[in-house]
Each structure stands twice: as C-alpha cells, then as structure tokens.
C-alpha cells in the first residue's frame, strides 16, 4: 500500500497519485501497477499525441 508520500527520485509524478489510489480502491489493482503502465505507455502523459500507432488513446493507451 501507499503511505501518503512519494519517494523522492522514484520518478512517479505526485499529481497522479490521487488517481492511482482511487483506481486501486475501485478496481482492486495495486497503484504501482497503474503507475508502471502509465510510465511505459505514455511516459506519465508526456507523449506528444497520446495516440499510439495502432490507435490506442489516452494516459494508459486504451483501445477505443
């Protein structure tokens, strides 16, 4: 679980923690998996278009 702080240097932008934690409660998926997907798919939403070459969209690259 998450104790309310982000370890400095861990690379997880603190502004996303509220969303990871809310999704963890709703969907029963540990927050750090969500953060890992977010990092891999869009580098924490810094991808220039947020659309993949196969049409996946958004922060976690979900296919429409």
Using CA atoms, how far apart are residues 58 and 31, in angstroms rounded to an integer? 18
Tokens of 15: 């502004």
**DSSP letters along 11-57, please?**
---GGGHHHHHHHHHHH---HHHHHHHHHHHHTTTT-SSSB-TTS-B
Mean pLDDT of the chain: 81
So where are the chain's domains?
A: 12-64
- The pLDDT tens digits for 38-50 are 888 888 888 888 8
**In the prediction, which pLDDT does 8 show?**
41
**In the prediction, which pLDDT does 28 show?**
95
Rounded mean pLDDT, 13-17: 88
In this predicted structure, the answer to whether residue 25 has a pLDDT above a threshold of 90 is yes
């Amino acid at each position: 679980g998450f104790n309310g702080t982000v370890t400095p240097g861990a690379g997880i932008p603190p502004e996303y923690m509220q969303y990871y934690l809310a999704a963890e409660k709703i969907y029963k998926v540990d927050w750090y998996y969500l953060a890992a997907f977010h990092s891999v798919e869009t580098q924490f939403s810094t991808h220039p278009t947020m659309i993949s070459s196969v049409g996946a969209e958004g922060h976690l690259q979900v296919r429409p």
